[in-house]
Chain A
Amino acid sequence: MEKRSVDSRVRGVSTGTTILAATFDGGVVIGSDSRASIGGEYVSSKTINKVVQVHDQIFCCMAGSLADAQAVTKAAKFHLSFHSVQMETPPLVIAAASVLQELCYNNKEELQAGFITAGWDRKKGPQVGAGRGDSHTGSRDTAVQSNSTYWRVAAVLIPCVPLQVYVVPLGGMLVGQPVTIGGSGSTYIYGYVDAKYKPNMSREECLQFATNALALAMGRDNVSGGVAHLVVITETGVEHVVVPGNKLPKFHNE
C-alpha cells in the first residue's frame, strides 16, 4: 500500500510533526505537537503524544511514519532496559541514541522515522541528540523545495550534563547538539530558533522558548497542531507539561 520511494508523500498514518529539544542550565526540555494525519488530508488524531519514554530519564520524540516510529521506539525501549540491567546502571544518553541509530540505519530501506533523543545521565548530565532513519536524506532541505514532502525526523532528546541533544534523522546519522528541531513543521521555525535560543537559559526561559517555537510551527504547518507536549528532564526527575491549543501563545498574525 505504501509507495516508499523518493519524493512520494508519506502514505498511511504519519506524523506531520514539529518536534524539538533544547538544553538549559541543569536539564533539557523536549517537546512536540500532537497531530497525526493521513497524507496531509485528514487528521486521524488530535491528541497523540509523540514524546516517548525509552528509559527513566531518557525520552525521544518521533517523527515520520507513526507506525515505524512506534515500532522502533518499542524495540529501543526493550533493548535499553536489557542493557541497563546488564550494566547495573541506567544507560547513558549516547547509548540510547546509538541504539536508535543502529535501528534506523540498519533498516533504513524500510523505515521512515527520525528521532530526537534527550535525557539525563550521571556521566554527562543533560544531552540532546537527533537521529534519522530513512532512505531519504537531506529531508529538511527537500521539504522546503517541494510542498509535498513531509520528511519527519524523530529526535530523541536526551538531557545530559554538557547539554547536548542527540538527533537521529532519517538515514541513521547521529549528531549531538545543544538544541535541535525536526519534523515538517520545523522548517517554519529555524529562524526563530536560531535567533532566540541561548545556551544556559533558566528552566522557565527554556520552557517559554520551546512553547513559543511549537506554537509558531503549529500555526503555519498544516500537519502540525493540537496541544504542545513538553517534558522537562533534570537530574532530579521528569516533569510533563501539556499546553492545550487555546492556551498557546498568540502572535501578531492571529
Chain B
Amino acid sequence: MSSIGTGYDLSASTFSPDGRVFQVEYAMKAVENSSTAIAIRCKDGVVFGVEKLVLSKLYEQGSNKRIFNIDRHVGMAVAGLLADARSLSEVARDEASSFRSSYGHDIPLKHLSDRVAMYVHAYTLYSAVRPFGCSFILGSYDKDDGPQLYMVDPSGISHGYWGCAIGKAKQAAKTEIEKLQMKEMTCRELVKEVAKIIYIVHDEVKDKAFELELSWVGEVTNGRHQLIPEEVRQEAEKYAKDSLEEEDDSDEDNMRWHVSQRLHSTAPAAGESPTERGAFRDKPQGTMLSLQFNHGIV
C-alpha cells in the first residue's frame, strides 16, 4: 500500500508506471498523521467529533478549532494540515454564499461538496502547486432533504456517508462506528456515542492531552450548525469516560488496545518494512510533502 515512488513523485503532474500519482498519495499520508475527526449521520441530524491534540500547555483553550461553520446550515470538520484546511473552509464559504446570492436559498450539501471537491482536485493537476494536505467532512441538515454527510479527500473525490472517520485512528474509529445503529438514533443519543468513540481511539501513550471538539446540526438545532451546548457536552464526556473505565476491566479491551497501538505506531516496529510511514522523514529528496510532516499537523 505505501511505497517509495522514486523519480515519479516529484510533482503532481507525473504518473508512475503503475498508474499512481504519488504526490496525491503523499498528501493523504499527511492526513493520516493528524489526529482523528469523525462525523456520523443519524435520523434527524449530523454530529461531528474531533480529537484535538493539545501540543503545549501554553495554548489558550479552544484555539485552533478544527470544526468550521460554512453558512448557517453546514458544518465542516477537518484533519491534516490545518492551514490548508482553513483556506478550503474559506473556499467553501465563498461557494455557499455565492449560491445563496444567486439562487435565494441554502446550498444543497451535495452541490457544495462537489464544488469544493472540484477545487481540491484542480490542485492535483499541476506541477506548479501541491495538493491540499487535508481531508474534511461536511454535514448539514435540511427539513425537506434530511441530514446529509459528505467527505472530501486530497484527491478531490467526495462520497456521501452515514458515518466516516479521518486521521490517524480512522480504522479503529470506523470499526466503532460500524457497530452503531445510526439510522435509528437521534442526535442527543449520538453525541454521547461520538464522544465515546473519540475517547476510545485516543492513544494515551503517544499523545497526552487532547480537547474534544463536538458540534451538531439537526432538528434539535433547527437546521443550524452549532457547537454542542455545555450541559450536553458534559453529559457526553461523562458517558465516554465511564464507558472507557468499564471496558478497561474487560479482557476484550486488551485486544483492542494492542490493535490501536499498532495502528498508531509511527516508528517502524521490528519486522516492518522501512517503507512504512515513519521512513519518509529520512528521505532527503523529492517528496515535497516530507518537509510538511513536521509542522502544522495537528
A contact residues vs B (CB 8 Å cutoff): 83, 86-87, 91-92, 94-95, 97-99, 101-102, 122-123, 174
Contacts and interface: CB of A to CB of B under 8 A. Distances in A.
Q: Closest 9 CB pairs between A and B? A: A98-B104, A95-B103, A94-B104, A123-B144, A98-B103, A94-B105, A92-B105, A87-B111, A95-B104
Contacts of B111: 86-87
Given A92-B103, A92-B105, A94-B105, 13 more contacts: A86-B111, A87-B108, A87-B111, A92-B104, A95-B103, A95-B104, A97-B104, A98-B102, A98-B104, A98-B105, A101-B104, A102-B102, A122-B144
Interface in B36-90: none
17 contacts: A83-B103, A87-B108, A87-B111, A91-B103, A92-B103, A92-B104, A92-B105, A94-B104, A94-B105, A95-B103, A95-B104, A98-B103, A99-B102, A99-B103, A101-B104, A122-B144, A174-B104
Nearest to B115: A86
A97 B105 CA distance: 11
Contacts of B144: 122-123
A208 B266 CA distance: 77
Most A-side CB within 10 Å, residue of B103, B108, B111:
B103
Interface in B138-158: 144
Contacts, number: 26
A91 B102 CA distance: 12
Interface in B97-135: 102-105, 108, 111
A101 B102 CA distance: 9
A98 B99 CA distance: 10
A122 B143 CA distance: 13
A174 B103 CA distance: 12
B105 to A, nearest CB: 5
A36 to B, nearest CB: 30
Nearest to A129: B104
A91 B108 CA distance: 12
Contacts of A97: 104
Contacts of B105: 92, 94-95, 98
Nearest to A166: B104
Contacts of B102: 98-99, 102
Contacts of A86: 111
Nearest to B103: A95
B166 to A, nearest CB: 26
A101 B144 CA distance: 25
A207 B144 CA distance: 30
A95 B105 CA distance: 7
Most B-side CB within 10 Å, residue of A86, A91, A98:
A98
Contacts of B104: 92, 94-95, 97-98, 101, 174
A122 B102 CA distance: 20
A99 B103 CA distance: 6
B37 to A, nearest CB: 28
Nearest to A95: B103
A64 to B, nearest CB: 22
B248 to A, nearest CB: 49
Interface in B226-247: none
B223 to A, nearest CB: 13
A209 B239 CA distance: 63
A133 to B, nearest CB: 16
A208 to B, nearest CB: 32
B269 to A, nearest CB: 48
Nearest to A124: B144
Nearest to A174: B104
A91 B105 CA distance: 11
Contacts of B108: 87
Contacts of B103: 83, 91-92, 94-95, 98-99
Nearest to A94: B104
A191 to B, nearest CB: 31
A97 to B, nearest CB: 7
A218 B11 CA distance: 71
B219 to A, nearest CB: 17
A97 B102 CA distance: 10
Contacts of A83: 103
A150 B105 CA distance: 33
A173 to B, nearest CB: 13
A238 to B, nearest CB: 22
Contacts of A92: 103-105
Contacts of A122: 144
